[in-house]
Chains A and B, each alone.
Chain A
Amino acid sequence: MSEYKPTIGLEIHVQLATKTKIFCSCSTEFGDEPNTNVCPVCLGLPGALPVLNEKVVEYAVRLGSALNMTINKVSTFYRKNYFYPDLPKGYQITQYAIPIASEGFLEIKTKKGKRKIRIQRGHIEEDAGKSIHTGDITESQYSYIDFNRSGVPLMEIVTYPDIETAEEAYEFLVLLRKTVRYLGVSSGDMEKGALRCDVNVSVSKNDKIGTKVEIKNLNSFKSVRRAVEYEVKRQIDVLENGGSVVQETRHLNEKTGETVAMRTKEELNDYRYFPEPDLPPLILTDEFIEKIKKELPELPLQKEERFIKEYGIKEDYAHDIASSIELANYFEAVCRATKKPKEVANFLMTNIMKYLNKTGKQITEISFNEKKFAEFLSLIDNGTISKNIAKEVIDQSLETGKSPKEIVKERGLVQITDEDAIKEIVLEVLKENPKPVSQYLSGKTQTIGFLIGQVMKKTKGKANPQIVNKLLRNALMKMKK
C-alpha cells in the first residue's frame, strides 16, 4: 500500500468571554436559568436592532493579532440564512466578505519539531440558542430551546488544510486553548462549549487534494483526535477497496469512536448570504489596532522558551508550567522570592501538582505562597531538614495550610546533624546486624546501603545522610583493623 497523505483543516468556534452578548446587553453567564438572559434582539423579535459590543471587537483583534493575522481596518457583516428552531431570526449575523482578521498562522510543537499551521480567516458572529431534549430523543415529540446562548459572541477561526495528523490537530487545539486563556478572551472550556471544533479531512496519494469530509460538533480534545484517526483510516479503507469517498458531513459516535454520516438535508442548504443592512461596516483605526498589539501578553510558546533559557529548567517542566498562565505566574513569583528556579520547578511539578490533582484545586487556591515556598527551601538549604523529610514537610504544609517551620517544629522533623547522636545509633545498628557487617568486611561493600537504611529508619529519616555515610564507613574501617 503506497502512502496516503491526510489533509486536515479545522474550523474552531471560540466563545468570547465578554459580559454581554454580541449585539445586545443581555448577560452571557453560563448556566443561568433557561430563557432569563433574553431580550427582543436575541429573541429576534420584529423591529429589534443589533448594536455591536465594543469588547467583542477588542477581543477579536487581540486573538487575531496573537495568531499573527492581518487585522482588517474595514470588515463587513452579513446575514447567513437558514431555518432552525434555535435561530430565532431565521438568519445568523456573521462576517462573510471581509472578516475582521485574515491570513495568519500558529506555530505548534510536535514530536517531529515545529510546524506552522496557516490560518485563513477569523470572523466574529453570534451563537445560536441551545436545544434541550428531554427523555428519549427518539420518542419525545418536542425539543426545548434555551435562548440564553443566542447572541453570545463567537470568533470562528478557520485554518488552511495544513494539518497532516491527528496529533497535530490535537496540538493545534491545545495551543489555541492556551492562547485564548493567556489572552483572557475566552475560557476555552470545551465541556462548556466555549471552544467547538469542526474538522475537514481528506486523504490523497498525490498532490491533488481528495474529497473532503466534514466532521461536525466535536466537543473535546480527545474527540478531535479520535475522529481524525478514525476518519483517515476509514477513507483509506474505502479507497483501497476501490470505492470513492463521498463528500458529506459526519459526526463522531462518542461510544464507538466511529464517524457516522448525518442524515440531514444540510447539503441542500444554500445560505444566501447578503450584507446585513442594520450594521454598517466596522472600521478600525491604526491606533486602536496598534494599541492592542502592543498590549499583547507573552504567548505560551514564547514563555516556555524563555523559562528554559532564563531559569535553566527542564524542557518538559517548562512546557507543563507554561501550559497555564496561573501556573506560570505562580512559578515566576516563587522564583523571584527564592532565586532557586530548579528546586521550585521540581517541587511544583511533583508534590504541588500531585496535591492539585488530588484535591482538584487550582494553583491560585492554595495557601502555599511564595513566602512559604522561600521558607521551605531555606529549611533545606540550612540543613534543618533533609531532602527526604522535605517532601513530607511540603505535603503537610499544603494539606494543613501551616507554614513549613510550624510543621517541622510540631512533628520534630529537624535533621539530626549531631555527630555524637548519630554515632551512637550507628554503633547500635552495627551491633544488631552482624551478618551484613561481616559481609561488608569480607568485601561485599554494597551491604553498606542496607546499614545506612537501618540508621535512617531508626532516626525516622531525620539523620543527615552524608554524616551517616561518613560515620558508618569510619566505624566499619575500625572493625576491619
Chain B
Amino acid sequence: MIDIEKIEHLAALELKEGEKEKIQKDIEEIIHYFEILKEVDTNGIEPYIYMKGAHLFLRKDQVKKGLDREDLKKNRILSQNKFYKVKRIMGE
C-alpha cells in the first residue's frame, strides 16, 4: 500500500477526496509493473543506469551573458523590476 498522503505532500499537490482513491489505485498499478519486472533474475548483472558509451562533456570556465532581465520581465511576474515574486516563505 502506498501512502497517498505522503505522496501528496512530496509532490506539493492538494487532492480532492475522490481523486485520492483514483490516483492511489493508478500508482499502485504502476508499481505493480515493477513487481512483475522483479521476477527477472538480475543476479550478476550491473544496473543499467547510463547510456553505454555516453561520456560527460566538460565546459571551459568562461562567462557568457545569459538572459536579459527585460525579456524575463515580459514572461514572469517580476516585482520591483528585478526579483521573482513568490508567496511568502516561512521559516528561515
Residues on A facing B (Cβ under 8 Å): 18-20, 24-27, 33-40, 42-43, 51-57, 76, 81, 83-86, 129, 131-133, 137, 140-147, 217, 262-265, 268-270, 272, 275, 277, 279-283
Contact = CB atoms under 8 A, between A and B. Distances in A.
Contacts of B64: 20, 25-26
A79 to B, nearest CB: 13
Residue of B56, B83, B90, B92 with highest tally of chain A CB at under 10 A: B83
A38 B58 contact: no
7 contacts: A20-B63, A25-B66, A129-B84, A131-B89, A140-B88, A268-B6, A268-B9
Given A38-B72, A83-B12, A283-B55, A19 B62 contact: yes
Interface of B: 6, 9-10, 12, 49-51, 54-64, 66-67, 69, 72, 78-80, 82-92
Given A33-B82, A83-B12, A147-B84, A26 B63 contact: yes
Contacts of B62: 19-20, 25
B66 A39 contact: yes
B88 A55 contact: no
Nearest to B51: A280
Contacts of B58: 51-54, 57
Contacts of B49: 76, 275
A462 B11 CA distance: 81
Contact of B90 (A81, A129, A264): A264
Nearest to A145: B84
A34 B86 contact: no
A76 B51 CA distance: 13
A465 B61 CA distance: 61
Contacts of A43: 67
B89 A20 contact: no
Given A39-B67, A83-B12, A268-B9, A281 B50 contact: yes
Contact of B85 (A20, A142, A275): A142
A85 B83 contact: no
Nearest to A251: B92
Contacts of A76: 49
Contacts of A131: 89, 92
Contacts of B89: 84-86, 131, 133, 143
B46 to A, nearest CB: 12
B86 A142 contact: yes
B61 A55 contact: yes
A277 B51 CA distance: 9
Nearest to B9: A268
A144 B79 contact: yes
Contacts of B80: 144
A317 B13 CA distance: 60
Given A142-B88, A146-B84, 7 more contacts: A19-B63, A38-B67, A42-B66, A52-B56, A53-B58, A54-B59, A143-B85
Given A19-B61, A83-B12, A145-B83, A24 B66 contact: yes
A18 B82 contact: no
Nearest to A54: B58
Given A38-B72, A283-B55, A85 B86 contact: yes
B87 to A, nearest CB: 7
Nearest to A264: B91
